[in-house]
């Protein structure tokens, strides 16, 4: 059993999964990712028109609205758990921190790939490193800069300990181990700054994604168009990030036959549930304050989407307030799936379904667009499978969880 503990973060310890990397699932995900890669190359040479279902009314499609706006919210687990572990000093959550920051790295990394493919003139991406040509009034620029900086300055240092552990504790040449030790010394000095940036940068761009939809004005249905969109998007990123970490941990334990630490999972589920209930109350209060409750229950397709979103969030959020539901692994998993679906709907609907550019404009993603988006998601899952089998990411079996938290649980 390969374990690891880093000098900068003494509570964050993990153990690699002792299993083969090349499995049928590995090849299936790899094939889907390869299809997405080939289609992405075709899109770069053919342009957005032939490769996607975009038009003059719908200039954003799956790449931005799903892979970036929705999936980066799922990838906010490192951010959300980091707030609990670092800012609020709940040290017992450090045992799941490596899993959380890995999901964030993969979610944001594949989101950046999708954002790059979505650029109409792909060669213009070089200008993100040229401040003299920036448009300082562009919210999308702020999102792109913050996502890039978060990947490089926040998530990379947060994920570095697992890589350095691997280099230090496994059979590598002595010069590699010395290099890893030297990197530890550097990492210890920059780690506090990386943690600070890992809070500030995602806060900015997750709120910025909500602010982007405020610019749509009357083209966004009034049930979703509100001055509180930045706040709603930000808090929903916390909710989805925590839900994703919980689901990833539970699925990992199921697939690789690892015991679950239900007190940790139950505790995190209660935080997630409380955030979701608070979010719902503010959302209802916002609708009432703006006089839009009638629109929310007008018999049309928008009401159906609103009710789907509301019920999928409200029911599991209420159920997870009860300890017996949270501590039952089967029901915990089911309720988290429902909550995640509801949160993803909220992040996706304003960008596409509730967006109304005009009656003569319609959007449905092309087959190539769907396969490319699925390929990017498959790449994230594939990366997770490889990482947890090569690096000390997942918490150790249940008997060692509390001792690995340094007695802080």
**pLDDT 10s digits, 263-298:** 999 999 999 999 999 999 999 999 999 999 888 888
Residue 8 falls within a domain, yes or no?
A: yes
Q: What's the domain range around 249?
A: 3-404
CA distance 374 to 117: 14
- Can you give the pLDDT at residue 10? 57
- Can you give the pLDDT at residue 168? 84
More confident residue, 140 or 36: 36
Per-residue confidence band for 128, with pLDDT thresholds at 50, 70 and 90 = confident
- Can you give the pLDDT at residue 259? 80
CA distance 169 to 206: 37
Burial of 279 from C-beta contacts in 10 A (0-12 / 13-18 / 19+): buried
CA distance 209 to 248: 25
CA distance 200 to 372: 30
Please check whether residue 408 is in contact with residue 94, taking contact to mean a CB–CB distance below 8 angstroms.
Answer: yes
Burial of 66 from C-beta contacts in 10 A (0-12 / 13-18 / 19+): buried
234-259 exposure pattern, b = at least 16 Cβ within 10 A, e = fewer: bbbbbbbbbbbbbbbbbebbeeeebe
**pLDDT 10s digits, 116-126:** 888 878 778 88
Residue 266 falls within a domain, yes or no?
A: yes
Mean of the per-residue pLDDT values of the chain = 90
Task: Quickly tell me which residue has 């950046």 as its tokens.
Answer: 112
Residue 34 falls within a domain, yes or no?
A: yes
Structure tokens at 257: 């036959």
* Domain total of the chain: 1
CA distance 380 to 377: 5
Per-residue confidence band for 360, with pLDDT thresholds at 50, 70 and 90 = confident
- Can you give the pLDDT at residue 402? 46
Residue 219 falls within a domain, yes or no?
A: yes
CA distance 264 to 284: 31
**pLDDT 10s digits, 286-334:** 999 999 988 888 888 999 999 999 999 999 999 999 999 999 999 999 9
The helix or strand, by DSSP H or E, that contains position 398, with its residue range, turns out to be: helix 398-404
Residue 339 falls within a domain, yes or no?
A: yes
Q: Identify the three-state secondary structure at position 13.
A: strand
- Can you give the pLDDT at residue 12? 65
pLDDT at residue 16 greater than cutoff 70: yes
Q: What is the mean pLDDT of residues 136-165?
A: 90
Residue 409 falls within a domain, yes or no?
A: no
pTM of the model: 0.92
């Amino acid at each position: 059993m390969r374990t690891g503990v880093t000098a900068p973060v003494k509570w964050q310890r993990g153990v690699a999964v002792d299993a083969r990397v090349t499995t049928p699932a590995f090849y299936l995900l790899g094939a889907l990712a390869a299809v997405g890669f080939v289609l992405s190359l075709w899109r770069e040479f053919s342009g957005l028109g032939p490769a996607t279902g975009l038009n003059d009314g719908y200039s954003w499609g799956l790449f931005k609205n799903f892979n970036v706006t929705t999936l980066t919210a799922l990838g906010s687990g490192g951010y959300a758990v980091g707030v609990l572990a670092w800012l609020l000093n709940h040290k017992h959550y450090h045992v799941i921190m490596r899993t959380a920051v890995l999901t964030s790295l993969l979610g944001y990394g594949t989101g950046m790939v999708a954002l790059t493919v979505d650029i109409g003139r792909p060669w213009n991406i070089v200008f993100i490193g040229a401040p003299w040509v920036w448009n300082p009034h562009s919210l999308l620029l702020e999102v792109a800069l913050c996502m890039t900086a978060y990947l490089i300055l926040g998530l990379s240092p947060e994920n570095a300990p697992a890589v350095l552990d691997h280099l230090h504790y496994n059979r590598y040449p002595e010069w590699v181990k010395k290099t890893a030790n030297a990197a530890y010394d550097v990492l210890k000095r920059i780690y506090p700054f990386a943690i600070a940036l890992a809070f500030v940068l995602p806060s900015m761009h997750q709120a910025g994604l909500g602010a982007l939809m405020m610019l749509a004005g009357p083209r966004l249905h009034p049930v979703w168009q509100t001055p509180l969109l930045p706040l709603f998007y930000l808090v929903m990123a916390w909710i989805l990030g925590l839900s994703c970490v919980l689901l990833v941990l539970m699925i990992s334990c199921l697939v690789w036959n690892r015991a679950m630490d239900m007190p940790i999972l139950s505790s995190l589920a209660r935080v997630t549930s409380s955030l979701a209930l608070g979010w719902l109350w503010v959302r209802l209060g916002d609708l009432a304050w703006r006089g839009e409750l009638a629109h929310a229950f007008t018999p049309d397709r928008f009401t159906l989407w609103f009710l789907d979103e509301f019920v999928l969030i409200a029911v599991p959020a209420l159920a997870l307030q009860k300890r017996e539901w949270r501590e039952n692994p089967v029901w915990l998993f089911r309720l988290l799936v429902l909550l995640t679906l509801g949160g993803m709907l909220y992040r996706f609907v304003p960008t596409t379904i509730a967006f109304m550019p005009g009656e003569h404009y319609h959007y449905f993603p092309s087959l190539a667009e769907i396969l490319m988006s699925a390929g990017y998601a498959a790449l994230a899952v594939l990366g997770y499978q490889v990482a947890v089998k090569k690096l000390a990411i997942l918490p150790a079996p249940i008997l060692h969880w509390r001792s690995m938290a340094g007695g802080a649980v």
